[in-house]
């Protein structure tokens, strides 16, 4: 089939098509390359990719330097083993967040179950609040092959929320359910989040709302910008 510039431009988003059209008018001989489409991998492979992108240490130090009002937070994530794992396709992680000035005192600790979701055609990140958080503080600093990095199902604690991530280019983007997730955190009864996960970064719009629907904490004018160390 012969290539038609008009048809090609008409199928693009308005901002993109307008840019290409202007460029073509200014330079009629310009070569228009066909868009590169990333081949979709299986959901199981995508779950592995999401886990790999989460593992490691990221912080918001660059954002805190640019904006003194922004918190300087470190997020540490590592892979763990689970005794008698029920879902063989699930990957389990431990994640904690702490202020960079007090890394030994994490203020948020979660176990994460990363798994393919055929129903939503996405990767589900299901978070659990540990029943005994102090027991797991600093878990990622322990030897990766240590027995201490293997937990029981009962250690995972209470399910907190789900985020469904879909592949976008070399990264992933996802949200909590439309109505958010129930919570009892610093005056919030409902939390929402939007996540943009990339090879070297993660942006999060983590927000808490009270019973009247008023935001009581979390991102307001900009996301939290975590960058890989």
Place domain 43-228 in its CATH homologous superfamily: CpcT/CpeT domain (2.40.128.590)
* Window from 115-129, 132-146, 158-172 with minimum mean pLDDT: 132-146
Indicate the SS3 state at residue 93: strand
Confidence at 40, pLDDT banded by 50, 70, 90: low
- Residue 180, pLDDT > 90, answer yes
Ramachandran angles phi, psi of 149, nearest 5°: -90, 10
Domain boundaries, the chain: 1-36, 43-228
H/E run at residue 193:
none
Q: Which pLDDT does position 24 carry in this prediction?
A: 35
Ramachandran angles phi, psi of 62, nearest 5°: -65, -40
- Is residue 208 within 8 Å of 217, Cβ to Cβ? yes
Q: Is the pTM of this model over 0.85?
A: no
Nearest to 113 by CA among 104, 103, 123, 102: 123
Q: How far apart are CA 170 and CA 89, in angstroms?
A: 22
pLDDT in tens, 45-72: 999 999 999 999 999 999 999 999 899 9
């Amino acid at each position: 089939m012969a290539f038609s510039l008009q048809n090609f431009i008409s199928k693009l988003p308005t901002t993109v098509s307008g840019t290409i059209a202007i460029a073509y008018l200014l330079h009629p001989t310009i070569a228009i390359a066909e868009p590169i489409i990333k081949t979709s991998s299986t959901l199981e492979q995508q779950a592995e990719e999401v886990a790999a992108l989460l593992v490691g240490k990221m912080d918001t130090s660059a954002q805190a330097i640019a904006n003194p009002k922004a918190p300087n937070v470190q997020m540490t994530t590592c892979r763990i083993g689970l005794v008698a794992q029920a879902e063989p396709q699930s990957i389990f992680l431990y994640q904690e967040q702490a202020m960079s000035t007090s890394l030994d005192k994490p203020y948020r600790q979660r176990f994460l179950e990363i798994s393919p979701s055929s129903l939503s055609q996405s990767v589900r990140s299901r978070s659990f609040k540990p029943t005994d958080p102090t027991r797991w503080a600093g878990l990622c600093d322990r030897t990766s092959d240590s027995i201490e990095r293997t937990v029981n199902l009962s250690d995972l604690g209470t399910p907190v929320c789900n985020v469904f991530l879909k592949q976008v280019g070399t990264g992933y983007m996802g949200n909590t359910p439309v109505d958010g997730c129930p919570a009892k955190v610093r005056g919030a009864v409902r939390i929402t989040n939007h996540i943009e996960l990339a090879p070297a970064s993660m942006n999060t719009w983590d927000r808490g709302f009270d019973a009247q629907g008023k935001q009581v904490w979390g991102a307001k004018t900009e996301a939290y910008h975590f960058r890989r160390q």
